[in-house]
Amino acid sequence: MRESLKKIFVPALFVAVTAFPLSASGAHKSRHPNCTSGSINSRQDRQDQRIRQGVGSGELTRRETRRLAAQEARIRVDEVYARRSGGEFTAGERARIQRELNRASQNIYRQKHDTQDRN
């Protein structure tokens, strides 16, 4: 039963979180991936684009896509909790989210460049 809940909850969570993107109100949004001021949302958007591109080109299988999307959804949830804890990120929270985004980016790259593709 626990597995069936995961199968329903994780995709539903991803849809709910990505349907209402977060924006850093008044924060400077940099395009540089290593810049820590306001770049979290833009990095998430770019990583979502990379996943969509991988689906469109057939580089990602359905299973890989589901896993990557779930990872992105978990990061968005972590961001929501961090923002609730005081309105803005502390340096530690921001660093933790950046590390999660780095790991997700590496996973996207690996999955797009492995030998598996959608037939």
pLDDT in tens, 81-100: 988 887 777 889 999 999 99
**pLDDT category of residue 7 using cuts at 50, 70 and 90:** low
- List Cα–Cα distances, 19 to 14, 15, 116, in angstroms: 8, 6, 29
Residue 88 confidence (pLDDT)? 73
**pLDDT category of residue 39 using cuts at 50, 70 and 90:** confident
Q: Which helix (H) or strand (E) segment is 76 a member of?
A: helix 62-84
- List Cα–Cα distances, 78 to 4, 56, 111, in angstroms: 23, 28, 23
Closest CA to 74 of 37, 39, 99, 49: 99
pLDDT averaged over every residue in the chain: 78
Paired tokens of 99: 């590390």
Per the listing, tokens 């890989």 go with 64
If you compute the radius of gyration of the chain from its CA atoms, what whole number of angstroms results?
15
